[in-house]
Structure 1
Amino acid sequence: MPEPFVAYLRVYEPLSSFEPPLREEVEAAVERGTVDPFDAGQWEQQLWLRSQLAAPPRLLPGENAKGEVQGLGGVLVLEPEDVPTAPAATVGPGTLVCPLDVRGRAAAALVGFLGDAEIPLRTAALADSAETARSRAGAVVSELAGGAVHVLSSTWTVPLPWFVVVDPTERCVFTEPGRRRVCWRVAMADARRRVARAHSVAKQSIGEDGPTKILKETGRWLERFHPHSAVELDYGGLVQLMTPADLEADTSAEDVHAIVDAMESDDAEEVAARYEQLRDFWAEFAAREQHN
């Protein structure tokens, strides 16, 4: 089974920053064994499939038939020395941890599905009634009120405002036999600074909607975490759709940063040219989503 065609924006917090009793749960998850970042998408997919194939099916992954939580779940780890930083930024100390938060993310996605899907689709997809599912998923989402999920995900494409977070020159391409991983890593302080600047420029240039709204929401999300955290933009399963030539031609991060600079200097021609380049690159992947 192929890895899900999903890209991720993740936050890794210092282990010491988690408050008890969550810290003990995170430490126990690390001791049990962390998820291989190459396998994160498939790990999440398999966790969900097991929840749906159980008898009776679970509404959300990571819980039993009664809706009770069954442990924290998987975690990813990162060391501070693997995160490029600007001179004024600090990452750590010690190991950085990203709980995958699959149950909370699934609950949020389910609330969105129940709000958007037509009644026949909701009925076919859910063993429980829609109201029961909405109530249970909403309760899980409300548990996140004091914190935030550590992972945002996007199917089939990367939201272009996410590229604002990273330094275009710091892209990492990791390879293992038969598979690749493409990601950027950045200190939280650098990520917040870039998002704040891009949001200010976009608000002045194109108003409050569209990319500006995404930048505002991304900035608010980043503020929920420890200031010495790290942020990772990971192409995840999208690399399965990319040839080596595609990766060589991919200048998405450079183009997005150039658009912000061009907006700031009122260079409409540069904005248009860079946006057209981005549209052309990602159009192929958008078309595959349509075909599926």
Structure 2
Amino acid sequence: MWLKSQDYGLAALPGERADGSPFPVREVMTARSASGDLLVCPLDLRARAAAAIVGFLSTAGDSLREATLGGAAEKLRQKAGAVLGELTGGAVHVVSTTWTVPLPWFVLVLPDERVMADGSVYWQVPMGTARKRVQRAFELAESTFGESGPTKVLQDTSRWLAHFHEASLVELDYGGLVELLDEETIESDTSAEDVNAILDAIEHPDPGAVAERFERLREFWSDLAVRERMQ
């Protein structure tokens, strides 16, 4: 949303007024817990846009930054840092990636918890369950892969989950990715099953099963990876 706004010469971030102050009304998502309680998730558009700026400035090449932002890069970096410094609770409520879902995130969910409805694909799990699953996966990954790669992603995910109330609900969803996948492909997606099978194969050593499941994941997500490289 932030990058698209640059096409129209907008100085303000999504979620803030032209003078740089945040909108007084926050956009939210709502859901019901298993007990029927109404749960509210702030979308944190302004803070997420600031985080997107930081990510863009740290990963985009010089020519892309120049073509997109001209000489405003450093000013935007300072503004983004200030906005993130104002973030209540120290974490945004929504974390997103483009083109793919980080495979370690699938440890949060089980295959039979998937919901496919109204053009959406998502899972919802109680916070306590999510934290336990991430902790188990982190311990297995650390003992197998060391401190980098999936272990680092799981560590960051655990720290993020720790910011929120224990009665919260955690949602993993495909967002706009469903527009890039046809119905047959979505139906055949076994990512959650494969990631959990890898954990089981690590816990009860079965190198062959680990390799087989990694290959299935690679095949499923490779098409989206190619699209990302083509952009």
Fold agreement, TM-score > 0.5: yes
- Structure 2 equivalent of residue 116 of structure 1: 59
Structure 1 residue 114, shift from structure 2 partner: 1.9
- Distance across 2 between alignment mates of 1:70 and 1:52: 22
Residues 146 and 61 (structure 1), Cα distance of their counterparts in 2 relative to 1, 3 Å cut:
same
The yes-or-no answer on 1:64 pairing with 2:7 is: no
1:152-211 Cα distance to aligned partner (Å, 9 max, x none): 111111110110001221110102xxxx11111000000000000000011011111100
- Is the CA contact 1:172–1:182 (under 8 Å) kept in the aligned structure 2? yes
Task: Output the TM-score relative to the length of structure 1.
Answer: 0.74
Among 179, 200, 219, the alignment partner of 2:158 is 219
The yes-or-no answer on 1:152 pairing with 2:91 is: no
Greater shift after overlay, 124-133 or 163-172?
124-133
- Structure 1 equivalent of residue 179 of structure 2: 240
- Structure 2 equivalent of residue 141 of structure 1: 84
3-state SS in 2 of match to 1:155: coil
Task: Output the TM-score relative to the length of structure 2.
Answer: 0.92
- Amino acid in the other structure paired with 1:60: L
3-state SS in 2 of match to 1:96: strand
1:9-47 Cα distance to aligned partner (Å, 9 max, x none): xxxxxxxxxxxxxxxxxxxxxxxxxxxxxxxxxxxx4x8
- Is the CA contact 1:60–1:107 (under 8 Å) kept in the aligned structure 2? yes
Residues 60 and 197 (structure 1), Cα distance of their counterparts in 2 relative to 1, 3 Å cut:
same
Bigger RCO of structures 1 and 2 (CA < 8 A, at least 6 apart): 1
3-state SS in 2 of match to 1:151: coil
- Amino acid in the other structure paired with 2:194: D
- Structure 1 equivalent of residue 204 of structure 2: 265
Alignment of 1:35-46 (within 5 A): 45=1
3-state SS in 2 of match to 1:149: coil
Among 106, 110, 133, the alignment partner of 1:194 is 133
- Amino acid in the other structure paired with 2:79: R
- Distance across 1 between alignment mates of 2:67 and 2:229: 22
Q: Structure 2: where are the runs of 5+ without partners?
A: none
- Distance across 2 between alignment mates of 1:249 and 1:72: 40
3-state SS in 1 of match to 2:86: helix
- Amino acid in the other structure paired with 2:61: E
Structure 1 residue 71, shift from structure 2 partner: 2.5
Alignment of 1:3-18 (within 5 A): none
- Structure 1 equivalent of residue 109 of structure 2: 166
- Amino acid in the other structure paired with 1:270: A
Structure 1 residue 230, shift from structure 2 partner: 0.2
- Structure 1 equivalent of residue 215 of structure 2: 276
Equivalenced residues, count: 231
Residues 264 and 143 (structure 1), Cα distance of their counterparts in 2 relative to 1, 3 Å cut:
same
- Amino acid in the other structure paired with 2:28: V
3-state SS in 1 of match to 2:147: coil
Among 168, 188, 206, the alignment partner of 1:229 is 168
- Structure 2 equivalent of residue 132 of structure 1: 75
Structure 1 residue 50, shift from structure 2 partner: 5.8
- Amino acid in the other structure paired with 2:171: E
Q: Identical aligned pairs, as a percentage?
A: 51
